[in-house]
Amino acid sequence: MTARTVRYTTTLPLEYIDELKKLAKEKIIPSVNFAINEALDEYLRSRKAAQYEALLKEAGQDKEFLSRTLSCAEDFKAVDSEVPGTW
């Protein structure tokens, strides 16, 4: 399945574009566009990971959440021991 794309105009420092063009010309990266997409993908992943970590820290302070989680873990303790290894 091909990802949908959209053309979007942005402003980037000339040095970034020059460096990316140089890398593309030297065949280190496929293209400037590829590198920008890769950089955005990595940036978005790191932001989502940071957001998830913040939510987990918040949940760790919620006594009701911790109680439900520990109760659920206890409920499945016997079943979990039936599965060898980790999943």
pLDDT tens by residue, 30-63 = 999 999 999 999 999 999 999 999 988 888 888 8
Per-residue pLDDT for 87 more than 60?
Answer: no
> Would you say the pTM of this structure is higher than 0.95?
no
pLDDT band, very low/low/confident/very high, at 85 (cuts 50, 70, 90): low
The owner of tokens 């079943």 is 79
The owner of tokens 């439900």 is 68
Which runs of consecutive H residues, i.e. helices, occur in the chain? Answer: 14-25, 32-60, 63-75, 77-81
Rounded to whole angstroms, how far apart are CA atoms 74 and 80?
10
